[in-house]
Each structure stands twice: as structure tokens, then as C-alpha cells.
């Protein structure tokens, strides 16, 4: 009895480690399952196992001499690729109804991040080799084959052969695709020159018009009518002139009347003043910031 309890204890402690491959795991238990001629583990049989390799697509688990059964995260749902991490322990419970090894409390973990998932982060080093900081770097199509395949095996592009480029989040804010998979376009981020400037329809697309500052052009200014009134009321000039009286003569004699000064004004007239205005100005244009309230963090990208 004590030996059986010790075997059970060791089988649920995480001491078991798989062999085999990333899609066909093998494990040898201390209890010895399926020893009575059956190829099916007991319903509810529990094992805690450390994975020897990160899983691929549709992995199975074969314990002792039992048949191999699929590993599922929920009834009828196979565990996703790269969900079981090399060197990490997981708890499995066999379900006769589902004919599968069910992961126990798998999605109850706050640290479960799917392959290709992004996580805002505040540290300067990645927690383990399953994550990278997405800065547009090139990754190996061999080392990261599962992620590369999930992306649709993109070509190397600007990367050397045998590598592919991941997204670059440096100094960028992520936004949902305008055309989410399976849905029609929302037309919120489009290729219009007055909008994003790029069709936001694929992962990694960046807005051509995205910048932290903008310099207004004259065409960006609103139409404005400015009334300018110039008034010239006219004016006069005073002057003084000598106005003489004509000579007067009398028979038998002569006479002269002295001249006296007299005042007067000129006529009123305008000067012909005109004016021109240029509201555009010739000053140097200064860029203005267009940045939203932002706090800097790092991002983790799950690649293994």
C-alpha cells in the first residue's frame, strides 16, 4: 500500500518527463498504466508531466503500454501549437468520454499566452526563450518553425535566406486591423491620403501618415474672408495770397490804392492711396506635436 501511494505521489508531482517528439509524447509512469491488458487508462487518471519539447500541432500522449491519445485543452479542442513549453510541468487527467488527455487548470494560469500573442511588459529582459521583444528583427525559420508556419510561411523579404521578419513595435501603438479575419472592412483605418495612408488589412501594416508631428500647409488652413477698410476723407491746405485792387484814375489826376493780403483755402481732393495685404505670411513653418498621451513600455511577443 505504501509503495502504491509513493508511486501515485511521484506521478502527480511533476517528476515525470516525456520522451518522444513534439507531436507524439511518451511517458513512463511509476504506477504502470494499462498493465491488465487494457489499452485505455482509467477514467480520471491524473499525471503531472514535465515536457521534453514544446508541442507542435495536434500532439498526443502515450503513457506506458496504453494507446496514444490526443491532448486537449477543452472537450474536443486540441491544445494549440507551442502551448506546452519545454521544461514546464503540466497536469493531465484522462477522460474516457472525450478519449483524450485533458489539461487541468490550463487556462486558469495568468501566464498562459498563445503563440503569436503580445503582452505589455515593464522589464528590459525577456522572461524566457519563448518570448522576444518585437523590434522588426529576423528570426530563423527552423528554430521558430511553428510560429513561422502559423504566420503562413512568409518569404524572407529583407532578411537573409532561412529567416523571416517579425513585426516592429518600436515607438508604435498597436491597432486592430481594419479588416478583422472573417469580417468586412470597418473603414476606420484606410489607405486614404487623409487617413492612415496604408490599407490596414494585414498584421505588421503601418500607417504611412503616422508621425509624431505635423507641419501645416496652406491648404490645411480654413477659408477666411477678412474685410479691410481704408478711409481717405480728403483734406485742404490754407494759403495766403496778395490780392491787388485795380488802378483807379480820375480826370485831371491819378490815384493808387494799396494792395492788402487776403486768405483762402484750396479745394478738397483725395490722394489716391491704395493698400494690399498678404495673410499667408513668409515666416518659417514650425511642426506641431500630434502625440496622444502615452507611456512607454516594452512588449513581449510569444514565438516559441
Contact between residue 127 and residue 300 where contact means Cβ atoms under 8 Å apart: yes
Q: Which pLDDT score, from 0 to 100, does residue 68 have?
A: 97
- Average pLDDT (97-107) is 90
Report which DSSP code applies to 163: E
How does DSSP assign 79-117, residue by residue?
PPTT-S-TT-EEEEEEETTTTEEEESSGGG-TT---TT-
Judge residue 57's burial from the number of C-beta atoms within 10 Å of its C-beta, 0-12 exposed, 13-18 middle, 19 or more buried: middle
pLDDT digits (tens, 9 = 90+) for 166-193: 999 999 999 999 999 999 999 999 999 8
The CA distance from 222 to 289, in Å, is 19
Q: Which pLDDT score, from 0 to 100, does residue 293 have?
A: 87
Q: What is the pTM of this model?
A: 0.59
The CA distance from 180 to 185, in Å, is 7
pLDDT grade, residue 296 (50/70/90)? very high
236 three-class SS: coil
Domain ranges for the chain: 2-108, 113-209+294-304
pLDDT digits (tens, 9 = 90+) for 9-25: 878 888 999 999 999 99
The CA distance from 219 to 214, in Å, is 13
Q: Mean pLDDT of all residues in the chain?
A: 85
Amino acid at each position: 500500500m505504501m509503495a502504491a501511494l509513493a508511486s501515485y505521489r511521484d506521478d502527480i508531482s511533476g517528476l515525470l518527463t516525456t520522451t518522444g517528439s513534439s507531436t507524439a509524447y511518451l511517458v513512463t509512469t511509476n504506477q504502470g498504466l494499462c498493465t491488465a491488458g487494457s489499452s485505455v487508462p482509467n477514467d480520471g487518471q491524473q499525471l503531472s508531466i514535465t515536457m521534453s519539447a514544446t508541442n507542435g500541432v495536434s500532439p498526443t500522449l502515450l503513457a506506458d503500454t496504453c494507446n496514444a491519445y490526443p491532448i486537449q485543452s477543452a472537450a474536443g479542442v486540441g491544445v494549440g501549437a507551442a502551448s506546452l513549453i519545454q521544461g514546464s510541468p503540466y497536469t493531465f487527467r484522462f477522460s474516457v468520454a472525450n478519449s483524450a488527455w485533458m489539461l487541468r487548470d490550463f487556462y486558469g494560469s495568468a501566464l498562459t499566452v498563445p503563440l503569436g500573442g503580445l503582452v505589455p511588459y515593464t522589464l528590459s529582459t525577456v522572461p524566457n526563450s519563448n518570448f522576444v521583444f518585437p523590434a522588426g528583427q529576423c528570426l530563423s525559420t527552423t528554430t521558430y518553425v511553428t510560429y513561422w508556419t502559423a504566420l503562413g510561411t512568409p518569404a524572407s523579404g529583407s532578411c537573409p535566406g532561412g529567416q523571416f521578419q517579425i513585426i516592429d513595435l518600436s515607438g508604435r501603438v498597436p491597432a486592430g486591423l481594419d479588416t478583422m479575419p472573417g469580417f468586412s472592412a470597418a473603414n476606420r483605418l484606410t489607405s486614404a491620403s487623409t487617413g492612415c495612408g496604408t490599407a490596414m488589412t494585414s498584421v505588421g501594416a503601418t500607417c504611412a501618415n503616422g508621425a509624431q508631428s505635423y507641419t501645416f500647409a496652406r491648404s490645411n488652413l480654413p477659408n477666411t474672408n477678412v474685410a479691410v477698410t481704408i478711409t481717405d476723407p480728403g483734406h485742404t491746405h490754407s494759403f495766403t495770397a496778395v490780392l491787388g485792387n485795380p488802378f483807379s484814375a480820375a480826370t485831371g489826376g491819378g490815384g493808387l490804392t494799396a494792395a492788402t493780403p487776403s486768405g483762402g483755402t484750396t479745394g478738397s481732393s483725395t490722394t489716391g492711396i491704395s493698400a494690399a495685404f498678404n495673410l499667408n505670411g513668409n515666416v518659417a513653418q514650425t511642426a506641431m506635436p500630434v502625440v496622444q498621451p502615452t507611456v512607454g513600455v516594452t512588449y513581449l511577443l510569444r514565438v516559441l
